[in-house]
Amino acid sequence: MTHTDNGPQREKVAFWRIPAVRAILYQALAIGFLVMMALVIYKNTLANLAKRGIKTGFSFLTNEAGFAIGETSALPLFQGKTLWLLGAILVGVSVVFFLSKKMKKEGKALTDSTPMCLLAAVLLIGVPGAVLWFFPGEVPTIRYSESSNYIAALATGLSNTLKVSIIACVLSTILGLLVALARLSPNWLLSRLARWYVEINRNIPLLMQLFFWYFIVFQGLPSVRKSIELWGIISINNRGLFVPKPIFLAGAAPFIAAVVLALVAIWFYVRHAHRLQDTTGRQLPVLLPSLGILAALPALSALCFGTPFDFDIPRLAGFNFKGGMTMTPEFVALVTGLTIYVSAFNAEIIRSGIESVSRGQREAAYALSLSNAQSMKLVILPQSLRVTVPPMINEYLAVTKSSSLAVAIGYPDVVSVGGTILNQTGQAIEVIGIWMGVYLILSLLISMGMNWYNAKIKLVER
């Protein structure tokens, strides 16, 4: 009789002892616990609201607001021409995105192919421009008034928040770059002034700076009749900043199209100049031809189709200025405070990014006979972006969220408008939920956009 030994038998392990199963089980229990807690809180909230006779839901948003908003702007209505324009932009972006992905899989870039670049320009610029040109009428808009509903009021507050946030992000980045370069300057006085600028603004709370700019600076300006005049077209007083307002005439559409076409032509010319330099070493002039194209095409459009626009100059009439465009003291103070405060942080981020580039890169640039400005523009700053972009995302998020402090100086942002709605309706949970949802969506959109840009410029190791 033959005996076969198959070796030691493996001991069966209970399923709850397997690490992978145990990890899934713990996560399922944690999710179940969180869902149960959310349901308990939800039921208790509904019970407490019903006990106090408070109605829930968002149906109140369609009621008439009945209050004024100090700063309003035209809001687009999502119908007719607006829907066609958004559809054209969405289709163009989607097609270009998929084309870029397909060419990337083939080891190529979209900008490597001239036909693909032309197709992208047509989809992203030509088709939306054609929609604006051929569809009759203007883009339908609505402007908030006291008879509008709460939805229009919140939309107006959101547009004010976006306006302030975008302007402050752009200005704080530019100012932060200038301060960072000043800190790295060999000039002792300039470097020390930039350093104290950073230290002072970083260590004074933003709310205090907003109070300073609004109550001390802008409220301390002269009255309307004693306004500060700049070049006879700009007036500054304690009621705001009055600047000329552009009025678009019949030749505006061809003029804008000519500007867009000139920018596309400049992009292709610069691309051709870079390729020629990479292949042959020959350098073509870029600045003067680009300025010539940018000036020639719009000028030709103005000659053929007439004056594109005129300016409405603000004039003193009675007790206030008439005409032009008004920037309220609250708006100017908020933008100024946010810009100066955040620029101090941006300056340190940019300075640290510049200093992270190795000294050998600078020496290599100088060995190629590049000037200080050329080495900074072509060698140092492009490499420092890989270090500066991630922390800059946090600063852009901080600008958007810090704009909610506008309520302290009376600027009608989404928090201020929502607070008025809350006081009128008593719908605290709904209004606070709207605030949280708005800032969450804005933060996620900013993070997605900046992370996409960071992925494009980051150094990929081989």
> pLDDT tens digits for 111-156?
667 777 777 777 777 777 777 777 766 667 788 888 888 888 999 9
- Check if the beta carbon of residue 13 is closer than 8 Å to that of residue 397: no
In the CATH scheme, what architecture does the domain 64-457 have? Answer: Orthogonal Bundle (1.10)
Tell me the percentage of the chain whose pLDDT exceeds 70: 93
Average pLDDT, the chain: 82
Q: Is the pLDDT of residue 345 over 90?
A: yes
> pLDDT tens digits for 433-450?
889 999 999 999 988 888
pLDDT at res. 411: 87
Q: Is the pLDDT of residue 334 over 70?
A: yes
d(CA 178, CA 324): 31
> pLDDT tens digits for 295-315?
888 888 888 877 788 787 888
Q: Is the pLDDT of residue 5 over 70?
A: no
Tell me the percentage of the chain whose pLDDT exceeds 90: 16
d(CA 166, CA 176): 15
DSSP run (H or E) holding 328: none
The better pLDDT of the pair 385, 182 is held by 182
Mean pLDDT score, 354-361: 82
d(CA 155, CA 418): 10
Look at the block and give the residue holding tokens 């209505």: 77
**Among candidate residues 249, 254, 253, 225, the one with its CA nearest the CA of residue 239:** 225
> pLDDT tens digits for 210-230?
999 988 888 888 887 777 887
Mean pLDDT score, 370-393: 81
Mean pLDDT score, 49-71: 80
d(CA 70, CA 204): 29
Look at the block and give the residue holding tokens 């616990």: 33
CA 437, distance to chain mean position in Å, is 18
